[in-house]
Chains A and B, each alone.
Chain A
Amino acid sequence: MKRIALLGMPNTGKSTLFNRLTGGSARVGNWPGITVDLLAAKIPVGGAIAELVDLPGIYDLHGYSDDERVVRHFLEEQSIDLLLILVNGVQLERQLVLALQLAELGIPAVLLVNMIDEARSLGLSIDCGKLGAEIELPVVAISAKYGEGRQAMGQTMAHTLLTGGNARPGTAILRLAEDDRIEQRAAALAAQTMRAPLVLPERLTDRLDRLAMHNVLGLPLFFLTMLGVFAGVFWLGEPLQNGMQFLFDAFSTHVLEPALAPAPDLLRGFLIEGLYGGITTVAVFVPVIVLFFLFMALVEDSGYLSRAAYLMDALMARLGLDGRSFVMLLMGFGCNVPALMGTRVMRSRALRLLSMLVIPFSLCSARLQVFLFIIAALFTPWQAPWVLMSLYLMSFTLAFLTALLFKGRRAFRSEEPFVIELPPYRLPTLRQIWARGWMEVRHFLVRASKIIIAGVVLVWLLTHLPAGVAPAGPASYAGMIGHVMQPVLGPLGIDEKLTVALIFGFVAKEVVIGALAVIYGLNGDALTSQIAHSLNWIQAYSFMLFCLIYTPCLSTIATLRSESRSLRYTAFAVAWPLALAWFASFVFFQIASRM
């Protein structure tokens, strides 16, 4: 099968094009010698099936970041039949440098000039035919976002792939000394093929930025926007959540229970109270999580997060981090794992390690489920938003505090420069939001469903064995574990039953509420009212604090390990939050219960 590699600078619309070409069917590929995950998908090109690989966005073939190393390595080690070089038409001159560097490798290539719609609206015009003749590569103008130029792109790709295009004896990755020559050539090419108005028209982006990047109003506006996003998610999510609960309950009473009536008690209990109860308790939150990811995709694709990086950098610099770390903390609200991987754009290892140390404090969507559930049980609808907000604030406070405490350590001290591009605001199309949101959601569902089923089954076994014990009673294995842990967790107000849920939360936070459902043998409203009776608000808040801070899930630990490539660092990144969780819950519980 032929292999096509997609390459370009950051902010060229690479993922949008990739999604358009693949229809969101990408999988994480496995590449010998390449340590990071690269997305790949099979796509039809001119009647045959080819493999399309999405390489990380890079500025320069000779750069020093991890991403740039990955791309270099890939180009050198893998056989590539076609290189799709993507450039942003608005910034043609600057981006042609990378395109020319790549063209000199001698791999058959097609140059795609993207965002032709934006270029047009700025009054820029590009003579693609002339450009193609000059650089001896086929050049196609496209808009990955709106699908413009799709047909020409497909035909050119097929033709180049079939004929081997302009393959010529390539040089290896070029020497640095060549760069000056290439830069001059790029400038000359741009001058010949691009016509731009003398003064760029003021864009809507400029007007919006006067407000969004305002020295006084910028930050309050940003937090209001985020608040709006969360409010929107919960306001829209609640009726969906209730609907799901209603359907699950109805299915249980009218279908499952009658169907399983003849089954032995133990089996019926396992299937209904264990498996079904555990899984549906978690599944009820899926609509909220879906909405959450859709909204995050909207915020992320709009370009607003770069403004957040600008606004927060002065503060983050004092914490030994930078604006990008803050953006990754926000991304961690969805799931910590991609946020950790997002730190790859940082070149300094010290900065990466410090950012990765604080990202797991981000209140991810899995923890959000736990909190929504417990808050609904213990607090009035009027208190609920404030309780949740206090947890988000706590999440930021602990991340900042951790950075402040450790930024002076040698392993975390960095002089990394902070220079990022500020893309214009873009209204993502529904299709884009859907593709992004759906990808995240699918990832979440696959991960969650496997772990939740396994976790729920294990909890059921622990609470019902040895045979004949009272479920989750002191004689069950779960009861014994809880008993052993009491000297440690008792002073935090966390009882035996909650202890078992916490232990499973170590694997994945989604399991916590599934585990509670199994432990109490109840689900839906019955579970909520049981929890409201057996806990007071101080215990519940202490439990939530512990859940928020302690060891991130197994996937996060695995990512910390693979990204840092250091066992010692990983051990530290697990132990520190655990210690902090215990301390914070202890202080809160001891003080609050004495007041």
Chain B
Amino acid sequence: MVNNENHSQIHPMTLPLTSLVPGQIASVCAIHVGEALQHRLHAMGFRAGKRVRLIRQAAFRGPLHVRIDSTDIIIRHRDAHCIELRLT
């Protein structure tokens, strides 16, 4: 990624979780889902400011494997699309 830290602070660049490439890290800035899922995601560690790392994605637009702190999570492409991240 070309952004350096200053650059991203001036132009906060947000992108859905699905746009990360394996190995890339970004932090959660918004979650656009219903209340029930919001709750579950929260409990699993998707909270504002948390750093998320994409480990890998399954073939045929299958689920994503991400890591937050020491928790590994599998999330379906459609659901991951609702999670908005900011590159740091």
Contacts and interface: CB of A to CB of B under 8 A. Distances in A.
A418 B72 contact: no
Given A90-B70, A323-B74, A422 B40 contact: no
A97 B43 CA distance: 8
A145 interface: no
A215 B47 contact: no
B37 A418 contact: no
B69 interface: yes
Interface stretch (A55-63, A366-374, A392-400, A434-442): A55-63
B63 A314 contact: yes
Contacts of A179: 42
Contacts of A63: 36, 39-40, 43
Interface string B55-88: 1101111110100011111111011000000000
Nearest to A119: B70
A309 B44 contact: no
A323 B63 contact: yes
Contacts of A310: 58, 62-63, 65, 74
Contact of B70 (A91, A306, A417): A91
B29 interface: no
B74 A200 contact: no
A417 to B, nearest CB: 4
Interface string A74-103: 000000000000000011011001100000
A311 B58 contact: yes
A124 B70 CA distance: 10
Contact of B59 (A196, A200, A314): A314
A365 B36 CA distance: 37
Contacts of B45: 91, 94
Contact of A418 (B42, B56, B63): B63
Contacts of B41: 419
B58 A313 contact: yes
Contacts of A196: 70
A322 interface: yes
Interface in A115-141: 122, 124
A64 interface: yes
Contact of A64 (B36, B58, B63): B36
A260 interface: no
Interface string A306-346: 10011101110100001100000000000000000000000
| Contact count band on B | 20 to 34
A347 B33 CA distance: 15
A114 to B, nearest CB: 14
Contacts of B79: 417-419
B36 A213 contact: no
Interface residues of A, number: 41
Contact of A347 (B36, B47, B63, B74): B36
A179, A417, A424 — most chain B CB neighbours (10 Å): A417
Contacts of B63: 310, 313-314, 323, 418
A183 interface: yes
A379 B42 CA distance: 55
Contact of A419 (B40, B56, B59, B61): B40
Contacts of A236: none
Report which residue of A179, A323, A420 has the largest number of chain B beta carbons within 10 angstroms of its beta carbon. A420
A347 B41 CA distance: 14
Contacts of B61: 314
Interface in A155-183: 179, 183
A95 to B, nearest CB: 9
A587 to B, nearest CB: 31
B62 A419 contact: no
A213 B55 CA distance: 11
Contacts of B39: 59-60, 62-64
Contacts of B65: 209, 213, 310, 422
A265 interface: no
Contacts of A311: 58, 62
Contacts of B74: 306, 309-310, 313, 323, 418-422
A374 B73 CA distance: 44
Contacts of A215: 56, 58-59
B45 to A, nearest CB: 5
Nearest to B76: A418
B70 to A, nearest CB: 5
Nearest to A11: B71
Given A91-B69, A313-B58, A419-B37, 8 more contacts: A94-B71, A213-B65, A215-B58, A310-B62, A310-B74, A322-B76, A418-B79, A419-B79
19 contacts: A60-B39, A64-B36, A196-B70, A209-B55, A310-B58, A310-B63, A314-B58, A314-B61, A314-B62, A323-B63, A323-B74, A418-B74, A418-B75, A418-B76, A419-B37, A419-B73, A419-B75, A421-B73, A421-B74
Interface of B: 33, 36-37, 39-45, 47, 55-56, 58-63, 65, 69-76, 78-79
